Amino acid sequence: MSDPTPDTRAARRRPTRAGATTFFGLFGDDLDRGTIALLLAAGLFAGVGVTGGWSGAAEAGRALPVVAVNSVVTADPLEVTVKKAYAADAIPTLASAKPGARFVLVTVTVTNTSVRPVDARTAAASFAIDAAGLRQFGKLVAPDEARPGLVRAIDGSPLGGLQAGVTQNLALIWEQDADESVPTEVTVTVLGHTWRTSALDGSTQWFDPAAKTSVHLPVEPFPQV
């Protein structure tokens, strides 16, 4: 069989209205209908890959204070509300199916409470889940090394950063090995950071991820259109 033409490949990547509606439906209580309609008409979507890893948060596995779903928690530099979790073989417009993998998606609301921007890497390093068989670039990694992809609910684009004082609804997406059972529950760990100067290179940024609290979430099937 011949390879798809460039036009065919582009069509396969093009987000559908139904897929977009499904994604926005995860945040139905947070987005007004006018905004959703505008975004659907404009087609403002982008794919997301699971990127990078983080380390240095060994205490993420120890016993932590557990808060209820939808509680507001503070973990510098963010204020976080953890909402829902879903599992899916693929997520329309965001994560195409991969051989031997599925995705775990967690919806959150975050606010940058600091006086400076927070980059996407620090934001991603503020979350971890306890699911078995997490993968990074197709390889199995420990849970504390699995950084999620971050997607903005407002337009389906990868998070570039968080401006000071700004609140955003985000989807966190982890890749899980399909040989593992589909999780029925996940524990989301929220980590805080310290703004300090590095003794190695003199740079000043957010360092020292430290687990602050955890949230237990039932995992639902991703909504089907």
Share of the chain above pLDDT 70, in %: 72
Cα separation, 214 vs 217, whole angstroms: 10
Number of domains making up the chain = 1
**Mean confidence (pLDDT) of the chain:** 80
pTM above 0.95, yes or no: no
Share of the chain above pLDDT 90, in %: 59
Average of pLDDT values for 72-79?
Answer: 97
Q: Please, what's the b/e burial string for 84-98 (b: 16 or more CB within 10 A of its CB; e: otherwise)?
A: bbbbbeebbbbbeee
For residue 68, pLDDT beyond 60:
yes
Check residue 86 and give its pLDDT. Answer: 96
The boundaries of the domain holding residue 155 are 6-221
First CA to last CA across the chain, in angstroms?
Answer: 30
Average of pLDDT values for 111-131?
Answer: 96
Asked, for residue 1, whether it belongs to a domain, the answer is no
Asked, for residue 48, whether it belongs to a domain, the answer is yes
For residue 148, pLDDT beyond 90:
yes
Asked, for residue 207, whether it belongs to a domain, the answer is yes
Pairing of strands 204-221, 78-88: parallel
Query: Residue 169 is which amino acid?
Result: N
Q: Hey, what are 22's tokens?
A: 């499904």
Do residues 190 and 127 make contact, with C-beta atoms less than 8 angstroms apart? yes
Asked, for residue 54, whether it belongs to a domain, the answer is yes
CA distances in angstroms from 178 to 92, 93, 99, 105, 165, listed in the order given: 18, 20, 8, 15, 39
